[in-house]
Chain A
Amino acid sequence: MSKLADESVQVEELKNVDELKPNKIIDVRGAICPHPLNLIRDTIVSLKDKEILQAICDHEPTAKENAPRFCLRRGYPLKVIEQNGIWQVFIQKIEKTEPRLRVLSVSKVFRTNQGKVTALDNINLTIQEGEFVCIVGPSGCGKSTLLNLIAGLDKPTQGEIWSNGNRVTGPGSDRVVVFQEGALFPWLTVMQNVEFGLKLRDVASNIRRTLALDYLKLVGLDEKFHNSFIHQLSGGMKQRVAIARALVMEPAILLMDEPFAALDVYTRETLQEELQNIWTESHKTIVFVTHNVQEAVLLGDRVIVFASNPGQVKAEYEIDIARPRKIDHPEVFLNTKWITDDLKEELEEQSYKANAKKEVVYR
Chain B
Amino acid sequence: MSKRFIKLALFYLILIGLWQGLALLKIWPEYIFPTPLGVLETLVTGFEDKTFIIGILISLKRILIGYGFSIVLGLFVGLLIGRVKTLDETVGSLVLGIQALPSICWLPLALLWFGLSESAMLAIVILGSLFSIIIGADTGVKNVPPIYVRAARTMGAKGFQLYTKVIMPAALPSIISGFKQGWSFAWRSLMAAELLYVGLGLGHLLMMGRELNDMNQVIAVMVVIIIIGIVVDRLIFARIENKVRERWGLA
Contact = CB atoms under 8 A, between A and B. Distances in A.
Interface of A: 148, 151-153, 171-173, 175-177, 179, 182-188, 196-197, 200-201, 229-232, 245, 249
Contacts of B148: 183, 185
Given A171-B153, A182-B145, A249-B155, A200 B248 contact: no
A177 B152 CA distance: 10
Interface stretch (B31-39, B72-80, B161-169, B216-224): B161-169
Given A182-B147, A200-B155, 16 more contacts: A148-B150, A151-B154, A171-B153, A173-B155, A184-B151, A185-B151, A185-B169, A186-B170, A186-B248, A187-B170, A200-B161, A200-B165, A229-B248, A230-B249, A232-B249, A249-B155
Contact of A185 (B153, B156, B170): B170
For A187, A200, A231, the residue with the greatest tally of chain B CB atoms inside 10 Å of its CB is: A187
Contacts of B155: 173, 176, 196-197, 200, 245, 249
* 3 pairs of A and B residues whose beta carbons are closest in the complex: A231-B249, A197-B155, A183-B151
B247 A201 contact: no
B200 interface: no
B60 interface: no
Contact of B248 (A153, A176, A196, A231): A231
9 contacts: A151-B154, A173-B155, A179-B151, A183-B147, A185-B170, A187-B247, A187-B248, A200-B156, A249-B156
A197 B169 contact: no
Interface in B153-208: 153-157, 161, 165-166, 169-170, 172
Interface string B20-56: 0000000000000000000000000000000000000
Nearest to A245: B155
A337 to B, nearest CB: 35
Contacts of A231: 248-249
A186 B154 contact: no
Contacts of A152: 154
A232 B156 CA distance: 26
Interface bin, chain B: 20 to 34
A177 B156 CA distance: 11
A20 B165 CA distance: 60
B147 to A, nearest CB: 5
Nearest to A201: B156
A182 to B, nearest CB: 6
A359 to B, nearest CB: 40
Interface of B: 145, 147-148, 150-157, 161, 165-166, 169-170, 172, 247-249
Nearest to A176: B154
A187 B154 contact: no
Contacts of A177: 150-151, 154
A171 B248 contact: no
A187 B172 contact: yes
A8 to B, nearest CB: 24
A206 B247 CA distance: 25
Contacts of A249: 155-156
A229 B246 CA distance: 9
B156 A153 contact: no
A177 B247 CA distance: 25
A229 B249 contact: yes
Nearest to A249: B155
A176 B249 CA distance: 26
A188 to B, nearest CB: 8
Nearest to B152: A196
A196 B161 CA distance: 12
A148 B165 CA distance: 21
B251 to A, nearest CB: 10
Contacts of A187: 169-170, 172, 247-248
A229 B155 CA distance: 20
Contacts of B157: 200
A42 B129 CA distance: 68
A200 B161 CA distance: 8
